[in-house]
Amino acid sequence: MEDKTSNNDTLIPFGLHKDRNTLVDIHAVPKGKACDCICPSCHSPLIARQGDINEWHFAHLSNKEAVNNIEDICEYSFFSSVRMMALQLIGQNLKIDLPPYNAVVTDSYNEILIKEEFNITGRSAISLNNIDIDQNYLGHKVDVIGKVQDYPFIILFNYPDKSIPFSSFDLDNKKCGIISISLESTKPLFFDANKTGKSYKNILNTYLQTDLKSKKWIYHPKYKQAELLARQRLEEKKQERIKNYTPDLQSIIDTFKPSETKPSGNQVTYQCTICNQQWKATENQSICPVCRSPLYVQEIKKTR
């Protein structure tokens, strides 16, 4: 009976073939134990599950069938499986589409946001040569490092619980390019593979080369210069706003006006000490009808 496991993070799309010593796609091996594969992480036997309902995947043999009860401590996962196959697919040369790299700088004047968008590079395609995998660059382990026109170009695979190792301090004024490629979007692509008839390996290869949404620029050597020019344009915008600023005088006056008190509805008898005029009005309406001034008004009697 096929495994009913539905946790996609534990399904293994690629296994290590014992005789070939290479990662193989679940679609490229016989069903069941005949797949002749082991887990690249713990080296325990795998079984190829190729049912009609669930997604095709490798799974560890049950504890009764396994030589050692080590499945619980195996660190192998969906994403590490995909990462290892990606490294195997890349080889020594890779043509890859890159997304545009846009950014924005901001400032404010009179609490109004001012922004200036700028472009570092447009959409492009590169050929990555002299590729090495799992190497160190500037003291950090990187997934892929190659050369583009004699300059280092680094690829980092990104997925949950795997952080980007570089900081802006590490990369300041370096002649290199760095992108990250998220592997998260491979999950829905793989789990639709049974409908499309494509293998996980072919899907992953196309994804690495052509998918733009999964790629994000981490560093580009032209960023600093493009940012400097953008900040200069931003400052020009700000100075133009300052030059053309016209204060709203009425708003300024209104801020200094005493707040009006809502009449309470009580009837009050007032008298003006200058002209001796008396009158009745609601509370807080103490302006002499003759002198037109509240300065010499006093309250005589209040009624509800």
Structure confidence by residue, pLDDT tens digits, 17-37: 998 889 999 888 999 999 999
The winner for highest mean pLDDT among 84-88, 107-111, 197-201, 295-299 is 84-88
Q: What is the full DSSP assignment across 214-267?
A: TEEEEE-TTHHHHHHHHHHHHHHHHHHHHHT----HHHHHHHHSPPPPPP---E
- Report the alpha-carbon distance of residue 145 to residue 153 in Å, rounded: 6
Question: Among 165, 219, 164, 211, which residue's Cα sits nearest to residue 186?
Answer: 211
Torsion of CA 105, 109, 112, 113, to 10 degrees: 0
Q: Say if CB 158 and CB 20 are below 8 A apart.
A: no
Least confident among 28-37, 242-251, 274-283: 242-251
Taking alpha carbons only, the member of 183, 164, 185 closest to residue 80 is 183
* Residue that wins the pLDDT comparison between 297 and 235: 235
What's the pLDDT score for residue 41? Answer: 76
**Element (H or E) spanning 168, and its range?**
helix 168-171
Task: Judge if pTM exceeds 0.75.
Answer: no
